[in-house]
Amino acid sequence: MCGIAGILNFNEKRADPVLLARMAERIRHRGPDDFGIYTDKQMGLAHTRLSIIDLGAGQQPMHNEDKSLSITFNGEIFNYLELRRDLVRKGHKFRTRSDTEVILRLYEEKGEECVQDLNGQWAFAIWDSKRERLFLSRDRLGVRPLFYTVAEGAFVFGSEIKSIFALPNISREIDPVALDQIFTFWVSISPRTIFKNILELPPGHSLTVHRKQVAAQQYWHLDYAEGSKNVGNAAAHEEQYVGELLDLLIDATRIRLRSDVPVGAYVSGGLDSSLVTALAKKFCNSPLKTFSITFDDAEFDESSYQNEVIHFLETDHQEVRCSYEDISHVFPAVIWHTEKPILRTAPAPLYILSGLVQEHGYKVVLTGEGADEMFGGYDIFKEAKIRRFCAAHPQSTTRPLLFRRLYPYQQYLQGQSDAYLRAFFQVWPDELKSDFFSHLPRWELTSKLKLFFSEEIKSQVRSHDGYADLRSTLPPSYSVWDGFCQAQYLETAHLLPGYILSSQGDRVAMAHSVEGRFPFLDYRVVEFAAGIPPHLKMKVLNEKYLLKRCADGLVPPSTRNRPKQPYRAPDGKSFFQGSQLEYVDALLSADRIQQDGLFDSLAVKSLVQKFRQGRAIGVRDNMALIGILSTQLVVEQFVRNCGGKPFYAEHRAGTAPVCR
Amino acid sequence: MQNIEQELRRFVVDNFLFGQANGHLSNSDSFLDKGIIDSTGVLELVVFLEETYRIKIQDRELVPDNLDSINNLVRFLERKRQLTA
């Protein structure tokens, strides 16, 4: 795993190696093992390497024999051995054992269509000097990041935005529309980022730059046509689905163990990571190394479930305990890595966890990410199902009792009277017709946070319609898909890359030079899952039913049968324990809020007061605090200062979090 | 009653709207319809009523008819007072 960056000057000016080195330096955490720069006339490529495959060779940027093609690549191509074999058969000669060279040869063979053959997680750029054409690509689901901008007569790209900001004269300005989207959907809608004029290459897209023309094309998209066709199909052969899925998962895991360094696994205590660990174990001769987070706060701690899994699977286990103080302590660093506002602190413990992995000398971990999206694990799917069921018979007094089955971990919700529960989950007349039915309650709740926006921001986004933005990105067939599939699509196409795989995934893992690998996101698994009838994913209200069938006998029965508990961490409370935190006080002060101009200083003051008095316990207040604080940290670390030394480095109190 | 109504309004505006009501909250506005209150909001409201007005609210009284607007709250408090008087 690595970091990539590059500059393509539109005039004849030679790319400046000093600037390329500066860009690479900013993302050195992604690849501390090696470093390379290549310039060819107006094109400059940079690479920071985390050596995982072919440790001795495989340096980048890499070239073909006549140096007409050069590549800088971040990621892994898991089927590279099979692709290599085919290419050798066609006469290609290889100089290394690396997957990087496989991409290069495949590009020679097939051109830009080469991405269709890749099974993996990637962001790469190939400079085709004969054709003066730059080709960039990002994996199907958006595991690896890639950002770009056109500025100062050049096309500039990098694995992280901070590498682009290493260049002089790149404007660093918050985009109010992106802020509005994040305070609605939890993510900005790709290609938009929180910074004006900085774009990301959306998942499943490639991009070419040729003589000032920048063009992105989608090469893959999620398609739920078959799954929708199979809705309620009683003849759908459950046993056959279980068998085929298990075979696919075994193979997806097997090829994700390809590495010249040892591979570990995260264990959350839930079904998904346990199943991945169980499958990986089949291919390991020695006990698999596993890692987990535990929490001081019992509300979030899953250590008893984790212990069952590690004993059952006999892994060699390490854990790190996370306190409120640990979260507030690392939070500025976490935002330096996420490079965007977030509404939850959940990435912070994962940042600490990757530190533990690094401390134990590991560079690669398998995780269970993606299973909830592909196989229907989230409560949002269940909520939509129950709300539809209730709306079909609005007079029923028994149907709303099912709302008690939702969000069992939210104690305040569980304590409500039937009348309030009905009211919270009620279906408004227009909602049933909406193609966003499943997600409207979440988005409407999140949108309430906009009351904290300053008058200026409110007026700038007033005429903006986030739902219309989102609608414009939907595939043409979306409207005819089954509602369950539509909900899955919204989670997979937006929240997964925009938050789960980035803020909670790549960024906080790569912060400590750790690469995540995700068997559930093997595109064969994703495409297979999309075709499974929804009633087999969630059987009545039994979430991930088919996946649980696959896990029978492989994971402890208690893991298989426990209710789904989403991974969460303590939010606002983390920042108001014990002594006041200097950076929190500074960034949320009335002066600073007014200067930065994004939020209303009186409203923020009132919110902070509520937290200080211990009265802020709700989801909405917590999202507001984390959203505002993280936005202020983005402004502080990227807009106000974007020097080589991040803000958090100066504000670190004491030592780094201790791994216990 | 005027006083109570103002106290309730101030609590709702400060606690749930962080001072950002801009005169848009009428006494008959439903907290649910306006998205002012969520599940923890109900609890926050109950704690406020119990502490401020020294009353005890029963579980069966936790319904929108009693709690879902400033008018409903005023009426509810009035009834509670009559009961304890």
Is residue A109 a contact partner of residue A123, using CB atoms and an 8 Å limit?
no
- Whether residues A400 and A510 share a domain: the answer is no
Interface touch B38/A424, C-beta < 8 Å: yes
- Whether residues A385 and A355 share a domain: the answer is no
- Distance from the A413 Cα atom to the nearest Cα atom in chain B, whole angstroms: 5
Q: What is the pLDDT of residue A652?
A: 41
CATH number of the domain where residue B69 is located: 1.10.1200.10
Percent of chain A predicted with pLDDT > 70: 97
Structure tokens at A649: 């480095």
Structure tokens at A411: 């104690």
Domain count, chain B: 1
Interface touch B44/A451, C-beta < 8 Å: no
Contacts of B65 in chain A (CB under 8 A): 419
Last residue of a domain, one of A541, A561, A581: A561
Q: What's the domain range around B47?
A: 2-18+27-84
Residues lower than pLDDT 70 in chain B? 1, 22, 85
Interface touch B62/A618, C-beta < 8 Å: no
Q: What is the pLDDT of residue A22?
A: 95
Number of CB atoms found within 10 A of residue A652's CB: 14
**Which of A2, A114, A390, A485 is an active site residue?**
A2
Would you tell me which residues 24-53 of chain B have a C-beta closer than 8 angstroms to some C-beta of chain A?
32, 35, 38-44
- Give the whole-angstrom CA distance, residue A178 versus residue A116: 31
Interface touch B43/A619, C-beta < 8 Å: no
Would you tell me which residues 545-604 of chain A have a C-beta closer than 8 angstroms to some C-beta of chain B?
600, 602-604
Interface touch B39/A445, C-beta < 8 Å: no
User: By the CB < 8 Å criterion, does B11 face chain A?
Assistant: no
- Whether residues A25 and A159 share a domain: the answer is yes
DSSP A567: -
- Give the whole-angstrom CA distance, residue A465 versus residue A462: 8
- Whether residues A361 and A396 share a domain: the answer is no
- Distance from the A616 Cα atom to the nearest Cα atom in chain B, whole angstroms: 9
Residues lower than pLDDT 70 in chain A? 1, 643-660
User: By the CB < 8 Å criterion, does A607 face chain B?
Assistant: yes
Contacts of A424 in chain B (CB under 8 A): 32, 38-39
- Whether residues A487 and A507 share a domain: the answer is no
- Whether residues A371 and A252 share a domain: the answer is yes
Interface touch B18/A602, C-beta < 8 Å: yes
Q: What is the pLDDT of residue A648?
A: 53
Q: CB neighbours of A63 closer than 8 A, spacing ≥ 6?
A: A38, A69, A70, A71, A104
Interface touch A603/B20, C-beta < 8 Å: yes
Nearest to A391 by CA among A434, A437, A430, A432: A432
Which of A403, A407, A417 to probe by mutation at the B interface, max B CB count within 10 Å?
A417
Domain count, chain A: 3
Q: Which residue of B has its CA nearest to A451?
A: B20
Q: What's the domain range around A534?
A: 225-342+349-375+501-561
One DSSP character per residue, A235-258 reads: TS-HHHHHHHHHHHHHHHHHHTT-
Q: What are phi and psi of A286, to 5 degrees?
A: -105, 165
- Whether residues A323 and A402 share a domain: the answer is no
Contacts of A610 in chain B (CB under 8 A): 15
Number of CB atoms found within 10 A of residue A74's CB: 31
Q: 3-class DSSP state for residue A75?
A: strand
Please indicate whether residue A114 is annotated as part of the active site. no
Q: Is residue A571 part of a domain?
A: no
- Whether residues A18 and A124 share a domain: the answer is yes
Q: CB neighbours of A280 closer than 8 A, spacing ≥ 6?
A: A253, A256, A257, A263, A265, A288, A366
Q: Of A420, A452, A619, which is closest to B42 when you measure between CB atoms? A: A420
- Whether residues A12 and A108 share a domain: the answer is yes
Interface touch B41/A618, C-beta < 8 Å: yes
pLDDT tens, residue by residue, A551-593: 999 999 999 988 888 899 999 999 998 888 999 999 999 999 9
- Whether residues A428 and A370 share a domain: the answer is no
| Distance (Å) of CA B3 to CA A101, A348, A445 | 77, 46, 31
Number of CB atoms found within 10 A of residue A205's CB: 23
User: By the CB < 8 Å criterion, does A420 face chain B?
Assistant: yes
Interface touch B15/A610, C-beta < 8 Å: yes
Interface touch B39/A420, C-beta < 8 Å: yes
- Give the whole-angstrom CA distance, residue A588 versus residue A605: 8
Interface touch B43/A448, C-beta < 8 Å: no
Which of B14, B17, B18 to probe by mutation at the A interface, max A CB count within 10 Å?
B18
Q: Which residue of A has its CA nearest to B33?
A: A423
pLDDT tens, residue by residue, A175-201: 999 999 999 999 999 999 999 999 999
Is residue A510 a contact partner of residue A397, using CB atoms and an 8 Å limit?
no
Which of B17, B39, B65 to probe by mutation at the A interface, max A CB count within 10 Å?
B39
**Side-chain-facing half-sphere of A463: CA atoms under 13 Å:** 1
- Distance from the B82 Cα atom to the nearest Cα atom in chain A, whole angstroms: 24
Q: What is the pLDDT of residue A655?
A: 33
CATH number of the domain where residue A164 is located: 3.60.20.10
Q: What is the pLDDT of residue A651?
A: 44
Q: Is residue A324 part of a domain?
A: yes
Contacts of A417 in chain B (CB under 8 A): 59-60, 62-63
Number of CB atoms found within 10 A of residue A475's CB: 15
